[in-house]
A and B are shown apart, each in its own frame.
Chain A
Amino acid sequence: MIAYLPFAVAAWIFVIGVYGMATSRNLIHLILCLAVAQSATYVLILEVGYRLGATAPVFSDVLPGTRAVDPVVDALTLTDIVVGATVTALLLAFALRIHKRRKTLDPELLRGMEG
């Protein structure tokens, strides 16, 4: 059981992010909650690639051949972070636009679609 405990950290971060999104009354808060939920994937991916007692896959100070974590998942995490940042920025742009047109950021007050 203890061997799976680190994965629970990722699940917990995801759950608090989703909880925040579901109960949010402000679009900026909602977008930040989405960013929190998404950061669970960074933690998860890094945990999946971890190997016990391993160092970072940068062989500047340690000899090549030293036990290191998986570099592929590290590269994936980098991609994940870039995508996460762009999604957040794009959503914030939408929130700005909504606020300008509807004068509110409360999802409860944003009913109906507008062309």
Chain B
Amino acid sequence: MSARARTAMTAASGAVLLVLTILGCAGLPPFGHYPGPYGILLNLVAPHERQIPNIVTAVNFDYRGVDTLGEEYIFFAAVAGIALVLRNDRKRTTEQPLPPNRELHGERRTDAIRAFSALAIAVTVAFGVYLAIHAAQTPGGGFQGGAITSGIGALLFAGLGYRTLSRLAPQAPAEAVEAVAAGAFAAIGLATLVATGAFLRNALPLGGEGQLFSTGTIAVINLCVAVEVCAGFILLFLEFAHETRIERPEPENR
């Protein structure tokens, strides 16, 4: 398609979309006047019913837990898909390890870079784990905390190199951890189905509001999601890092 034809097509479909958007927005309530009763009701009953201050977490892991299960498996399928696409290609084109890049021979990461990334990793882990385990009390949660903690994969790659990353976060255990955590979410659902007759009904003792170990199955599912998301993103970093790595000569002992 020529550039002109594409511009014309974008303009035409954009005009159609504009009309549809205006028609669709015509019936919206004005900004700040959301009428939905469901959320208002949850804001009123959930703190007492589930002993949880963070209603978003309650929606995610309890009231609409089934949706989150689906969401988690979207993530799981995407990670598996990326691994499939990249590894299949890798087999065909780069079965052999890359030859050492001579131009980069003298280039080393300075001590400052390595020290900074080690420091950044410590801060990232502390913050990510804090967010993940305080899903019920603060605006945190398994998804956010897991994603932030997995940032250590990127930091390891950028600051310490591919070799360190693949040694400290080997692929096989990361895959196993991700699969077990994803499976545990579904297993909790099945267990609650057997125990209470409803899928993902909160069946564990709720504990006291605001305490670290409270909110029953919400806390357990949240932990599963945190581990799954963290392992999944680390796997992604591993795949992309493997794809874009530059083989450096083994560092000699100093």
Interfacial residues, chain A to chain B (CB-CB below 8 A): 3-7, 11, 15, 18, 22-23, 47-52, 56-60, 64-65, 68-75, 78-79, 81-83, 85-87, 89-90, 92-94, 96-97, 100-101, 108
Residues in A neighbouring B78, C-beta threshold 8 A: 86-87, 89-90
Task: Report 12 cross-chain contacts, Cβ distance below 8 Å, ordered by A residue.
Answer: A11-B21, A50-B32, A52-B33, A58-B55, A71-B39, A71-B55, A75-B59, A78-B56, A86-B74, A93-B82, A96-B240, A97-B85
Could you say which of B54, B82, B139 contacts A90, with CB atoms under 8 Å apart? B82
Closest to B239 in A: A93
How many chain B residues touch the partner (CB < 8 A)? 58
Of B6, B28, B71, most buried by chain A (CB within 10 Å of CB) is: B71
The winner among A3, A15, A49 for most chain B CB atoms within 10 A is: A3
Of the listed stretches B60-68, B108-116, B125-133, B161-169, name the one at the interface; the rest are far from the partner chain.
B60-68
Chain A positions within 8 Å of B54 at CB level: 57-60
> Is A70 a contact partner of B34 (Cβ separation < 8 A)?
yes
- Measured in the bound complex, the distance between the Cα atoms of B134 and A72 in whole Å is 19
Mark out the residues of chain B between 1 and 34 whose CB falls within 8 Å of any chain A CB in the assembled complex.
Answer: 3, 6-7, 10, 14, 21, 25, 28, 30-34
Interface residue B58 (Cβ < 8 Å from any Cβ of A) = yes
**Selected contact of B143 from candidates A3, A82, A93, CB within 8 Å:** A82
Q: A51-B34, A82-B143, A92-B240 are in contact. Are A57 and B89 (CB under 8 A)?
A: no
> In the complex, what's the smallest C-beta–C-beta distance from A78 to chain B, in angstroms?
6
Min CB distance, A106 to chain B, in Å?
12
Q: Is the CB of B85 within 8 A of A94?
A: yes
Say whether A86 contacts B75, CB under 8 Å.
Answer: yes
> A94 CA to B243 CA in the complex, in Å?
12
Tell me whether B53 is interfacial, beta carbon within 8 Å. yes
Q: Given A78-B60, A89-B82, are A52 and B53 also a contact pair (CB < 8 Å)?
A: no
Shortest CB–CB separation between residue A23 and chain B, in angstroms? 8
Residues of B near A4 (CB, < 8 A) are 25, 28, 30-31
How would you classify the secondary structure of chain A's contact residues: helix, strand, loop or mixed? helix
- Whether B192 sits at the interface, judged by CB under 8 Å, is no
Are A65 and B40 within 8 A (Cβ)? no
Nearest A residue to B141 via CB reads A78
Question: Given A4-B30, A60-B54, A82-B75, does the pair A72, B240 have CB atoms closer than 8 Å?
Answer: no
Assuming the A-B contacts A51-B33, A70-B34, are A65 and B44 also in contact, with contact meaning beta carbons closer than 8 angstroms in the complex?
yes
How many Å from the CB of B254 to the closest CB on chain A? 34
| Contact across chains for A93 and B85 when beta carbons are under 8 A apart | yes
Question: Which chain A positions have C-beta within 8 A of B217?
Answer: none
B188 an interface residue at 8 Å Cβ cutoff? no
Is the CB–CB distance between A51 and B143 below 8 Å? no
Q: Which residues of B contact A51 (CB under 8 A)?
A: 32-34
Q: How far is the CB of A50 from chain B (nearest CB, A)?
A: 5
Q: Nearest chain-B residue to A54 (Cβ)? A: B32
Q: Say yes or no: B34 contacts A49, CB within 8 Å.
A: yes
Separation of A97 and B81 alpha carbons in the complex (Å): 13
Asked if residues B7 and A57 are in contact (CB atoms below 8 Å), the reply is no
The minimal Cβ–Cβ distance linking B9 to chain A, given in whole angstroms, is: 9
Q: How far is the CA of A48 from the CA of B35 in the complex (A)?
A: 10
